[in-house]
Amino acid sequence: MRKLILSMLLITSILCAYAQGGGTMIDGIVAVIGKSIIMRSDLEKHFNDYTAQYKTVENPDEIYCTILENLVYTKLMVHQAELDSIEISDEEVDYRLNSRIQYFLQQTGGDVKYIENYFNKSMTEIKKEMREMMFEQAQVEQVQSSVTGSITITPSEVNQFASKISPDSMPLVSTTYQFGEIVKIPPVSEEEVEEVKERLTSYRERILRGEKISGLARLYSDDPGSASKGGDLGFVERGTLYPEFEAAAFNLKSGEVSQIVKTQAGYHIIQLIERRGESIRVAHILIQPKPSTDEQVKAIMYLDSVRKVILDEKLTLEEAAKKYSEGSTRLNGGMVVNPYNSSLTFDRQSLDDATFTTLNKLIPGEYSECVPFVNDDGVMAYRLLYLKERVAEHKANIVEDYDMIKNAALEQKKYEALEKWVKEKVKVTNIKIAEQYKDCPFVTKWQIP
């Protein structure tokens, strides 16, 4: 429970803690940790945010107690960070702050005004108030890392952890897949590239003559994420887009349209819609050069012949990928890595429909026929898919889900180490909690007068 609420307080609810306004509250100190204090208003803000997220609260007193304990826990970590002279750079705080703001902008479609109206503060004020919390979050993570960073776990400890869990209590694991690929990227002719540039040049001239970029983007842009929005990418900050795109976009003046910009995704023209501090709102038109029909046919024929060679010569995926594949996965023995968790395992939710449909028709050890796909850079390509393993939906067990259980066991070991560390620090730290909370079912025995 502590980890759930702590995560909520430090990550998902940081802005919301500042959203409460109006009315008068009788404030007072509810806890002292070293040189830090926790006010009644702090507790109320987090409680109000909790109720806003979960709508109904069956036992508010218990929630108050849990939130208070996690606030005390956080302040204890911050106190230790100061004692240990842990340094947090301005760059790291800026990165965390900008990432959090960017998340909220994405949730609201880049509508800064909506966020400012919701919190009844300017973006500058919101960032200023968030900055301290981002700083504390970094401190907490540094202290936790100093306590748990060197902790490892042995196979016997994993088995012992698993043996204490009833089979009926094991979670249900969805069907998972491990697969590889052999990729062929059809080349794009210089003629096609020149044609793309000519098209973008004509679109740019039409915009300069008064046409709206939004209309042209809806008709002609190859960016599936923004075309329907008139090319509008919303407000973005540095570090979120292709470097070449950002270099051009951040140098534009309001309303100005860039020259043609080349990125891994293709060719763009960009218009600056609005600038707010370090954030810019831009719209763009992306055109991706397409290989000719002849080149596409050649790619298909190439992979068909490669498939035959693999089967005839009984090549391993690694051998085939090294020899024939043009994808980045050739450096990984042909295996595809899940971008969501950096593992080789995918569930249904982390697969696109086309890949899932193809894999579902294969048996482990089998190659698909040649199938089209769009790679991570948005480039049209073709590939053979190889299904290495499919594990059907099942109750988690130590044989099929060792890595998952190992990670759970390691997290438990780290949690226990942190609990032990906290108990030791309580003995030597000035911690006082108001007597009205003496009946709280705290996990840690804090000092209550």
Please tell me whether residues 65 and 135 are part of one structural domain. Answer: yes
- 231, 285 in Cβ contact below 8 A? yes
Please tell me whether residues 333 and 306 are part of one structural domain. Answer: yes
Q: Report the alpha-carbon angle 55-57-62, nearest 5.
A: 145
Average pLDDT of the chain is 87
Name the percent of the chain in helix, strand, coil, to the closest 5. Answer: 50, 15, 35
- Confidence band of 129 (pLDDT split at 50, 70, 90): confident
Residue 24 confidence (pLDDT) above 50:
no
Mean pLDDT of 123-147: 89
Q: How far apart (Å, rounded) are the C-alpha atoms in residues 394 and 405?
A: 14
pLDDT at 254: 92
Share of the chain above pLDDT 90, in %: 62
> What pTM does this model have?
0.64
DSSP SS3 for 279 = strand
Within a domain: 263: yes
Of the candidates 312, 441, 327, 446, the residue with the CA atom closest to the CA atom of residue 384: 327
Residue 244 confidence (pLDDT) above 90:
yes
DSSP SS3 for 306 = helix
Crossing angle of the two packed helices 317-324 and 293-313, in degrees rounded to 10: 140
Within a domain: 449: no
194-198, 292-296, 362-366, 400-404: segment of lowest average pLDDT: 400-404
**285-337: pLDDT as tens digits:** 999 999 999 999 999 999 999 999 999 999 999 999 999 999 889 999 999 99
- Confidence band of 23 (pLDDT split at 50, 70, 90): very low
Within a domain: 447: no
CA distances from 36 to 28, 267, 288 (A): 14, 53, 56
Mean pLDDT of 123-135: 85
Q: How far apart (Å, rounded) are the C-alpha atoms in residues 193 and 272?
A: 25
The domain spanning residue 9 has which CATH number?
Answer: 1.10.4030.10
Give the residue numbers spanning the domain of 344.
173-187+292-395
Q: Which two tokens stand for residue 328?
A: 């980045």
pLDDT at 109: 64
Of the candidates 316, 321, 308, the residue with the CA atom closest to the CA atom of residue 183: 321
Of the candidates 276, 280, 288, the residue with the CA atom closest to the CA atom of residue 227: 288
Within a domain: 270: yes
Please tell me whether residues 270 and 372 are part of one structural domain. Answer: no
- Confidence band of 21 (pLDDT split at 50, 70, 90): very low
- Confidence band of 19 (pLDDT split at 50, 70, 90): very low
Within a domain: 57: yes
pLDDT at 59: 86
Within a domain: 167: no
Which residues is 431 bridged to in the sheet?
33
Please tell me whether residues 339 and 256 are part of one structural domain. Answer: no
Mean pLDDT of 84-97: 88
pLDDT at 277: 75
Please tell me whether residues 108 and 245 are part of one structural domain. Answer: no
The domain spanning residue 281 has which CATH number?
Answer: 3.10.50.40
Q: Show the DSSP H helices in 241-292 as ranges.
A: 243-249
Please tell me whether residues 90 and 205 are part of one structural domain. Answer: no
Highest mean pLDDT out of 7-11, 78-82, 116-120, 128-132? 78-82
Q: What HEC string does the chain produce?
A: CHHHHHHHHHHHCCCHHHCCCCCCCCCCEEEEECCEEEEHHHHHHHHHHHHHHHCCCCCHHHHHHHHHHHHHHHHHHHHHHHHCCCCCCHHHHHHHHHHHHHHHHHHCCCCHHHHHHHHCCCHHHHHHHHHHHHHHHHHHHHHHHHHHCCCCCCHHHHHHHHHCCCHHHCCEECCEEEEEEEEECCCCCHHHHHHHHHHHHHHHHHHHCCCCHHHHHHHHCCCCCCHHHCCEEEEECCCCCCHHHHHHHCCCCCCCECCCEEECCEEEEEEEEEEECCEEEEEEEEECCCCCHHHHHHHHHHHHHHHHHHHHHCCCHHHHHHHHCCCHHHHHCCECCCCCCCCCCEEHHHCCHHHHHHHHCCCCCCECCCEEEECCCCCEEEEEEEEEEEECCEECCCCCCHHHHHHHHHHHHHHHHHHHHHHHHHHHCCEEECHHHCCCCCCCCCCCC
Q: How far apart (Å, rounded) are the C-alpha atoms in residues 44 and 26?
A: 11
Tally the domains of the chain: 3
Q: Show the DSSP H helices in 250-370 as ranges.
A: 293-313, 317-324, 353-360
Mean pLDDT of 228-243: 85
Please tell me whether residues 131 and 26 are part of one structural domain. Answer: yes
Q: What is the DSSP string of 176-196?
A: EEEEEEEEE-----HHHHHHH
Phi-psi bin for 371: left (phi > 0), alpha (psi -120 to 50), beta? beta
Please tell me whether residues 177 and 221 are part of one structural domain. Answer: no
